[in-house]
Chains A and B, each alone.
Chain A
Amino acid sequence: EIQMTQSPSTLSASVGDRVTITCRASQFISTWLAWYQQRPGEAPQLLIYEASALQSGVPSRFSGSGSGTEFTLTISSLQPDDFATYYCQQYKTFGAFGQGTKVEIE
């Protein structure tokens, strides 16, 4: 099975900061990668699919890049609504998630 590893596990930042989260796959997954945001008590929401495609309705401050085994999610200017946990997920073979990155207020 494909394993996904995110870093960091926790990230402290302030409103307006540029934030980058990294996701690494244990084997080649091309661009079959999605990013989700989860706020406490809520179901996850899709942000990015196919590594860099922005889901409809998602603000343009979110962007994704990468291919193969290394991927990044970038928030260009952190907003109060963005303090949440972010997960990557590969879908080359079924689905496996990274362990999550919690973005908290510094």
Chain B
Amino acid sequence: QVQLVQSGAEVKKPGSSLKVSCKTSGGSFSSFAVSWMRQAPGQGLEWMGGIIPIFHTPNYAQKFQGRITISADESTDTAYMEVISLRSDDTAVYYCARGGLPRDYYYMDVWGKGTTVTVSS
């Protein structure tokens, strides 16, 4: 079955940047949206943005416009999210998830296990 495998935990300094990866295995990659969410400690889920690889154009929540870049590499079935100018309140678990149907953003039926990111001086 389809699995999403995320990169490992990171510890970052304030002001630095972060790039998290999410590799799809066991299923089609290019036609399905990959969304990125984050969850700060004790808080809820935030949809940050996503990409449908065959359309190449990422979509971002207004809050994160200008500070994140989402991309996809169809040759490796891997999606990426880069966050710049990290602050302590970017400390969170970052999840990727795949849309349940192709060619648009739908409910998300497959999730990665999450990447823990700690921003601290």
- A residues touching B (Cβ–Cβ < 8 Å)? 1, 34, 36, 38, 43-46, 49-50, 55, 85, 87, 89, 91, 93-100
Contact = CB atoms under 8 A, between A and B. Distances in A.
A86 B83 CA distance: 27
A89 B37 CA distance: 12
18 contacts: A34-B107, A43-B114, A44-B108, A44-B111, A46-B108, A89-B47, A89-B108, A94-B35, A94-B49, A94-B61, A94-B105, A95-B35, A95-B105, A95-B108, A97-B45, A98-B44, A99-B44, A100-B44
Interface residues of B, number: 23
B62 A46 contact: no
B100 interface: yes
B109 A94 contact: no
Nearest to B6: A43
Given A1-B62, A94-B50, A95-B35, A46 B107 contact: yes
B45 A100 contact: yes
